[in-house]
Chains A and B, each alone.
Chain A
């Protein structure tokens, strides 16, 4: 277009075309060349899709629109960008141009942005518009987007390989590629394979022997059925799912705080697999378990799915952090359920697949009402269903009846007690006198620091002995100083003694002339505190409060309070931010509690028999009341919604650059229909949008869902999916090696009502699954990657399988299921990598520490070191395929870690017990335990020789055996299948 054809602004009319070009040549060109060309067309890259090296490019603009507004030049985006008015309008990015240069460019724009055609650099500005990114008939024909249906099963010229459809598909491809499949695997290898694939644990020698002896044609089928019925199946396969949804129990970042109750989601997943919950229902529950008409506590727990990711509790940019949170959900959901990398379309249209940016935000709008993350109980949702609630109410009423009955028996005794005491001590009934007494007596048995100048406490910041809270504990070595203790500036605190470490222990004696009727603890804690009175833990507090609070501890202290010397002891632990601890005790002498009266004077007033009856009734009452507390409502960390949010396309993914508003819609490449939220889906609390999304994903008509899941089933049986990139079925993902087989499996999954156990058996009963893993020259040369499944691939055990197998081998494994996560013992070196070395990791009982790995606490900033060493799943991103690496640090763990050496000792003890005093039998037994096969002569000879070598060198026999056990746990054959 010629410059003259442009509508002219005033100054432009005063110049000829030639003069304009001259102005460009002399003033403008150098500025553009020096500051803009590098990224916008002068070299190979083209940032923001914006070309500034030609007038055409300038007028066309880039990602966020035309650079020049010819009608209103002052409003040109180009000038806006130069203005540096905020973080989104800063070009060039390095520094603002000098004002003189900006003035020249402003004038240039006002002149209509004339260009010297000779200095233009033209270019193909649409390099990224690959044909696959558009939505048209051709891109819709991509294999992954096709309807799921049974393809015809090929006819194969081999009877053995023609019986099962799976085998026919596999054999057909092998035959066409002139490959011969391996024969069946050795039975010992097969049973071991089946055990690890289904339950993640080794078979016992007895189980192997029974299988070897079973000559019935259905011997292997029986093994599969038995394994599928074991609860350990859910633990093994649930873990695969937990990898996908990046399950972890902390939020990451500076505080990496614990997500309370999120372990219930883990238990839900394990339960779902064990119950053989149909996969469509499993999806529905996780996406919209709170919106379903037949929702249950379980289905609400499933929506913990939305609470699994990382979130920054102190983000630098809050609106962006909100979108990061939603993005994380959308990415995880789209890759996990659909095998689509929708996340790539956050800032621009997908560069590889036909997923426009609009699809991204349309999908995001399904999740946009979800309430934000929060600490503590913020995301806790009640999961007790109506039925259980009614039962609880009924139970409660029954209990109340019993309580009333006991109380009616207690009352006359108590009356007698009070009357008797009143005779001895007339003031007890003299209520009128109460107020006066209160005035006379100091209500503080122990003033807190907010009253006057505080108190002198004994304290220490180094961990004291176990019984530090007992009255008799010797605290003479402790320091003494004034309360409160903490760091300056803690809200509501009165710091008189600086405390900056993570932990502090405090003790203080106080005297009581008589037992008070009411005892109140006034406490300010930042953060967690445990309070002991005369050696009894009477209260625990978590978190920080920012002010003093009063807590009635009369009941809790009844059985320990005494006249004379009493001791209060407090342990406070701080994990982040400010810290403070102080406490005081307030007393009210008006009413003496009856149990204390009974304890002190019961015998004299009531006599032994009556007192015993009183004590028994009182005990019953207390027990019942405690039980009453136990039947409380259950909670889970789950989804919630807040309000109704609008959603816009965000240009460049920037929350400040709102574009077109969008409404919920499915990816256009898969679905043309508009999304309507049917009547009745709105639950009041939620909009029902997620239910619509869940129904679409879990529909048998969705071309992706069943394929993606069938592929995952295959992946975890064969070590790789038919589509190897199991989270990405798009154009840049791997293409399926057996597309028809995948389609067939997906159709089977849907037709079998989405039940997974049936699919496992179908796959495992195939010859393909039961093939040997051995290599042969010809096949290795023709198909080194085993793309055609001419053999079964060997695999290394996963991190969990290695640890669990070691525990199984030594006989220590505790198969207790469910509940809050456990902690293993970790080396100090690992704990010390945390910013709070002492507080980073917990401690479990010995029994709990040897439970299955799936129950180990998943902390984002400190992964359990043994599991981490063996390629445990990343906790921050969905993990579809785990790495399998071999590095020397793993070897150090396997040879020198405490866990391995302890385990070797336990294994040696087991051998001693099961094969006492027979070294040869011990060696044989150990090898069989570790490999599921009999020991060979060479094995036994090598084992005996090693033990002999050690004993000859002065090492005692037991220790020598332990070292042999360590060797057994290091065998390749132990950590590799087949």
Chain B
């Protein structure tokens, strides 16, 4: 890894490389070429920062975290729409008998700020699970079995109870559009362990993306190389991965070799321009990616009991199960950050239960419970859970009171909600923070989304207040200029 820090236009030891390229032009193995080029910094120094001067290393090259890391990978299970905490993991026994009664409680949701409303009692019973005896609702019997692996954060808060801005906040730490997402920060800070796969993968619900689409996995003011790549768990995993118009792999090889001859002739009088060499190498990288990526989604190679563990044998859990299984396979292959969306599109196609809470949550929890539990179990049995941080949650929670005169629907709630984390050095079987008796607002150990982000970065081996990117005259940080502390109770 020689020349990673050299400036953009550096004249760096090109002679040997040029000779090598000529040999390659004569039929040398191009796969070896890629390794060599990537290794000796060919792919480095290829781009410039927004100031047009600062060079940086190949955005895809793996980097070491500045501090010892507990976690190497993150799987963010995004329950888009906002799951109800008092119906899932935040047990509120006093809320049941209040069902139907009108009470005073401050809420702020889609319907604006209110000072009271009709209580909707939790619609599911809770049971104790695990050695920790965690109370978990009947929506998540499988996840319940894994309670001893999980740290529950009951006192999460966010700045907005409106999907548009709240999604941006959960994904990028800011209400305003245009900032890089958490996965981009990870990609920027750590690169990818596997150059044949994207470092930051996003898997969407079959009903469509979340609102604001690609803004949720954007790299904002950073180069596009750091943004999330959407990957399909069935069919062709990555856009344009497959050869077009019936080109066979050996034909493609001939084609790339010929292209290499043209490009090397062009390079021979321009050897100081590493961008040209990087572009030549990118063809070989893509060629390898075309082989590696489909292998990653080859579920047939998984034994039946594993497929079953993730719920691939059942229609309801099949889709999310495939994604969870793919997430594990990607973790095994060195992908840093994986985000899986449960729910997409609008209204009841996600967890946004404004109308019939029971129908909505039964549906979405039922689709995801077993796959999530399967993922936790499988990662553990492979010894991967220690290095893989799992995050579960939505952009906010829901209110204890009903949104409309009739029905069980709950409006959004960013004053207090539950998320959970597991693996990656997170303590299991504990719960931190509390909401009030109604679940209306966090009252004890309140944590902001930024604390969650800080925790993720800390586990990955960063000081969250140090990881910065220079832009617009400022060292920008995921946790903002004010900074944020990780949630120490769980690490």
Contacts and interface: CB of A to CB of B under 8 A. Distances in A.
Nearest to B434: A95
Interface of A: 45, 47, 93-95, 252-256, 310, 312-317, 324, 331, 335, 341, 343-344, 352-353, 487-489, 500, 576, 715, 719-721, 724-728, 730, 732-734, 773-775, 777, 780-781, 784-786, 793-794, 796, 827, 829-830, 832-837, 840, 860-863, 865, 868-869, 871, 874, 876-877, 880-881, 883-893, 895-898, 900-901, 936, 938-939, 942-943, 945-946, 949-950, 953, 955, 959, 962-963, 966-967, 970-973, 975-976, 978
Contacts of B211: 253-255, 835
Contacts of A833: 204, 208-209, 213-214, 230
Contact of B230 (A829, A967, A970): A829
Nearest to A883: B223
Given A897-B244, A946-B258, A835 B224 contact: no
A897 B261 CA distance: 23
A775 B47 contact: no
Interface string B312-349: 00000000000000000000000000000000111110
B282 A888 contact: yes
Contacts of A720: 52-53
B103 interface: no
A312 B164 contact: yes
Contacts of B48: 881, 883-884
Contacts of A94: 445-446
B244 A896 contact: yes
Contacts of B220: 874, 876-877
Contacts of A963: 247, 251, 255
Given A315-B162, A316-B159, A888-B289, A774 B445 contact: no
A232 to B, nearest CB: 25
A887 B51 contact: no
Contacts, number: 305
Contacts of A877: 178, 220-221, 472
7 contacts: A254-B212, A784-B7, A785-B9, A793-B9, A835-B212, A901-B244, A943-B258
Contacts of A834: 208-209, 213
Interface residues of B, number: 105
Nearest to A890: B282
A885 B59 contact: yes
A31 to B, nearest CB: 17
Contacts of B213: 256, 833-835, 840, 861-862
Q: Lowest 4 A-B CB distances belong to which pairs?
A: A876-B178, A316-B160, A254-B164, A780-B11
Contacts of A317: 159-160
B214 to A, nearest CB: 6
A885 B51 contact: no
Contacts of B178: 310, 874, 876-877
A99 to B, nearest CB: 14
A837 B208 contact: yes
A972 B279 contact: yes
Contacts of B344: 835
Nearest to A87: B159
Contact of B177 (A95, A252, A868, A898): A252
Interface in B51-71: 51-53, 59-60
Nearest to A949: B254
Given A576-B346, A774-B270, A835-B346, A861 B223 contact: no
B298 to A, nearest CB: 19
B153 interface: no
A827 B53 CA distance: 35
B209 A832 contact: yes
Contacts of A884: 47-48, 275
A254 B162 contact: yes
B452 interface: no
Which residue among B166, B348, B414, B474 has the maximum number of chain A CB atoms within 10 Å of its CB?
B474
B400 to A, nearest CB: 20
B29 interface: no
Interface in B203-259: 204, 208-215, 220-221, 223-225, 229-230, 232, 236, 238-245, 247, 251-252, 254-255, 258-259
Interface in B1-57: 6-11, 43, 46-53
Contacts of B238: 889, 892
B115 interface: no
Contacts of B275: 794, 796, 884, 886, 976
Contacts of A939: 262, 265
Contacts of B163: 254
A724 B240 contact: no
B473 A892 contact: no
Contact of A487 (B265, B271, B347): B347
B432 to A, nearest CB: 11
Contacts of B262: 939, 942, 967, 971-973
Contacts of B175: 312, 315-316
A319 B60 CA distance: 41
Given A315-B162, A793-B9, A832 B239 contact: no
B254 A886 contact: no
B105 interface: no
A116 to B, nearest CB: 28
Contact of A897 (B52, B198, B240): B240
B98 interface: no
Nearest to A254: B164
Given A310-B178, A836-B345, A892-B239, A724 B473 contact: no
Given A780-B9, A860-B177, A886-B279, A881 B212 contact: no
Contact of A724 (B47, B51, B482): B51
A884 B273 CA distance: 13
Contact of B212 (A252, A344, A955, A973): A252
